[in-house]
Structure 1
């Protein structure tokens, strides 16, 4: 299949396997959810009744006080007691096979092509690390919420784009499902497109 170049005449030929796949919503949802879950820190920790210091002695005698019997002052019912179901550090990572991950990436890219959200350009370079130049170049392509994918992120481009809201710059090796679905448009250069095609085709 051929993808038309934006801002220039001509088109670029890409593999149907990587950019012409049917959309599998269940697979994409599973991979996106797994990717976001793997990014969770999972370091939350609370103390249960055995981890709270103190409470070794029985606070008062068993009978004769008129109060409910108690064996420790660190019960979850008491002030300064432990937490009933205390959170412990854990991993939220979900297992996703490489085959599933690549298939989901193909589905997302193919859907971007169908929805005309994938903008292919010959090149995207800046002469100086100036945000004004970067924004002006985005205006040429009528983009204000976009992910830019280049073969290698040059320093000028990185410095010019890092303070612009709703815009992110990645190299071809650094794309992921969440970043692809999180922007209205995805602008990709031809060299980066070929690099992505090599991985997914």
Structure 2
């Protein structure tokens, strides 16, 4: 049985919570995690880089000078890749970087990421995050009380309210994520993964549906 301490916003231990043995079973599929991260990052790429080939450059249809007798090197067009302003040889063209993995693979990769974080003692559980205003100072003080300042953190919540969004967005290294959208990359790309009491239940339910 795996248990996590629950802290309040003042950094005081208030409870313990039992984690799902079905999900937190200690199994870490590193190859699958790598595949999920590569897929996620590839799908963020736009693939819009483009350059003009020789045949796409405007102008240059006329031979700049006659073939012989000038003493210059022979040339047939100013579109030549050898010329400044000419075409580009083997330059980039728009392409699709999209990769796909199955939903079950994504879920097992996320499960592995959570197990890896638990193994490395990088999961922090807090009761809730409740802000009366959207001041960055207030959120920063909460992070300080939890001893999470100067850490790269991902805060996973059940629902993102406006005060929390505005208060956390100006702090470097803080990523705010909805439990329903948590993925392997976001879970791994931090030194501390913070869950609220309700958000960890949502993530456990998400994963459990695919393990049964």
TM-score (norm 2): 0.87
* Contact 1:3–1:120 (CA under 8 A) maintained in structure 2: no
Q: How does 1:54-73 map to 2 (within 5 A)?
A: 54-73=59-78
- The answer to whether 1:44 aligns with 2:52 is no
> Per-residue displacement from partner, 1:56-103 (whole Å, max 9, x unpaired)?
122333344444433222110122210011211112111222121111
Match of 1:4 in 2: 4
User: For 2:173, which of 160, 166, 174 is the aligned residue?
Assistant: 166
Residues in 1 aligned to 2:196 and 2:90: alpha-carbon distance in whole angstroms: 51
Residues in 1 aligned to 2:88 and 2:70: alpha-carbon distance in whole angstroms: 27
* Contact 2:133–2:163 (CA under 8 A) maintained in structure 1: yes
User: For 1:109, which of 114, 132, 146 is the aligned residue?
Assistant: 114
Match of 1:121 in 2: 126
> Per-residue displacement from partner, 1:6-26 (whole Å, max 9, x unpaired)?
323432233233222422222
Alpha-carbon shift at residue 130 of structure 1 (Å): 2.2
User: For 1:77, which of 58, 75, 82 is the aligned residue?
Assistant: 82
- The answer to whether 1:137 aligns with 2:142 is yes
Other structure's SS at 1:124 match: coil
Match of 2:194 in 1: 187
User: For 2:38, which of 33, 36, 39 is the aligned residue?
Assistant: 33
TM-score (norm 1): 0.91
Structure 1 residue ranges (4+ consecutive) displaced by more than 6 angstroms after TM superposition: none
User: For 1:176, which of 172, 183, 201 is the aligned residue?
Assistant: 183
Q: Structure 1 stretches of 5 or more lacking a match?
A: none
- Closer, same or farther: CA 68–17 of 1 in aligned 2, 3 Å: farther
Comparing 177-186 and 43-52, the one that deviates more: 177-186
Other structure's SS at 2:22 match: helix
> Per-residue displacement from partner, 1:134-167 (whole Å, max 9, x unpaired)?
1121122111221111110111211211111111
Comparing 105-114 and 92-101, the one that deviates more: 92-101
* Contact 1:22–1:110 (CA under 8 A) maintained in structure 2: yes
Match of 1:200 in 2: 207
